């Protein structure tokens, strides 16, 4: 595991962004695993600027980590909508190359199976991850087995509260999500995790120095051979 620590979020986002841009230049039909939330925004910004300078995403394939149960892709708080606004529309990813779990599927179990087959077909070359303050990756909350595949999960109250900043009220945050499992995440050839700010410092310390157990989903990354963790100084402040 490689750990990169810089003073600011902007620096780590640019480093991670350049690494992904280089990979797209080298392999225009690369498959990217994508995350939502605040952590990847600087990376998406960097890639949008690279696109304006000529980098094509036309042949890039994508697979997002998760989606809220009950929200359609057109819902402004859905992760599909977020990705359209923050990444797909700005980089010209082709709609036919976008993979996403449907939170509004009638039969959610079938949807998990469908998405899992998509993930098996399109092995990720790079998976981008943020880190929950409780150690979650994707929506794999503490207690999720490391061999889990795409499944429906009950969100912890702390996760709903953290994500309520994107909604009008905390009650509006859905209580369930459909998420790639930890095994799906570990199947990616390489993984880039970005964490910034003081409130992530405890989770960062647990992920890198804590006991490996299902109580710490991000600890599963220590069993993967190609992980780079990008931290700003504040998120790294508790590390030995």
User: Least distance from C-beta 192 to ligand F6R, angstroms?
Assistant: 12
Closest CA to 101 of 37, 33, 163: 33
What's the full length of the chain, in residues?
240
User: Can 134 be counted among the known catalytic residues?
Assistant: yes
Q: Which of 141, 151, 163, 206 is catalytic?
A: 141
Of the pair 17, 132, the CB lying nearest ligand F6R is at 132
Of the pair 108, 194, the CB lying nearest ligand F6R is at 194
Distance from C-alpha of 132 to C-alpha of 212, rounded to nearest angstrom: 16
- Whether 43 contacts 49, CB under 8 Å: no
Binding site residues, ligand F6R, CB under 6 A: 35-39, 65-66, 130-132, 136-139
Q: How far apart are the first and last CA of the chain?
A: 15
User: Can 51 be counted among the known catalytic residues?
Assistant: no
User: Least distance from C-beta 33 to ligand F6R, angstroms?
Assistant: 10
Distance from C-alpha of 214 to C-alpha of 74, rounded to nearest angstrom: 34
- Whether 187 contacts 180, CB under 8 Å: no
Residue 71: DSSP 8-state: -
- Whether 57 contacts 92, CB under 8 Å: yes
Residue partners of 112: CB distance under 8 A and separation at least 6: 101, 149, 150, 151, 152, 178
> Residue holding tokens 């057109």?
74
Distance from C-alpha of 41 to C-alpha of 128, rounded to nearest angstrom: 11
Q: Which of 51, 64, 66, 163 is catalytic?
A: 66
> Residue holding tokens 């750990």?
3
Q: Which of 51, 86, 136, 184 is catalytic?
A: 136
- Whether 179 contacts 66, CB under 8 Å: yes
User: Least distance from C-beta 193 to ligand F6R, angstroms?
Assistant: 9
Q: Which of 134, 140, 163, 184 is catalytic?
A: 134
Of the pair 199, 213, the CB lying nearest ligand F6R is at 199
Active site residues: 66, 134, 136, 141
């Amino acid at each position: 595991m490689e750990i990169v620590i810089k003073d600011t979020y902007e620096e780590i986002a640019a480093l991670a962004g350049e690494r992904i841009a280089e990979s797209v230049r080298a392999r225009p039909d690369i498959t990217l695993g994508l995350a939502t939330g605040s952590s990847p925004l600087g990376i998406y910004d960097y890639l949008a600027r690279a696109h304006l300078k000529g980098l094509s995403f036309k042949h890039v394939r994508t697979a997002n980590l998760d989606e809220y149960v009950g929200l359609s892709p057109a819902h402004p708080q859905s992760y599909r909508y977020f990705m359209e606004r923050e990444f797909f529309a700005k980089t010209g990813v082709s709609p036919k190359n976008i993979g996403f779990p449907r939170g509004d599927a009638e039969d959610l179990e079938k949807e998990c199976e469908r998405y899992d087959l998509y993930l098996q077909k399109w092995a990720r070359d790079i998976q981008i991850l943020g880190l929950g303050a409780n150690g979650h990756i994707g929506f794999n909350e503490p207690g999720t087995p490391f061999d889990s595949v795409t499944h429906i999960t009950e969100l912890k109250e702390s996760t709903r509260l953290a994500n309520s900043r994107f909604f009008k009220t905390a009650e509006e945050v859905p209580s369930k999500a459909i998420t790639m499992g930890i095994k799906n995440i570990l199947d990616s050839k390489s993984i880039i995790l970005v964490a910034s700010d003081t409130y992530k410092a405890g989770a960062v310390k647990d992920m890198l120095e804590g006991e490996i157990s299902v109580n710490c989903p991000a600890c599963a990354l220590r069993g993967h051979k190609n992980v780079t963790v990008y931290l700003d100084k504040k998120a790294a402040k508790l590390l030995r």
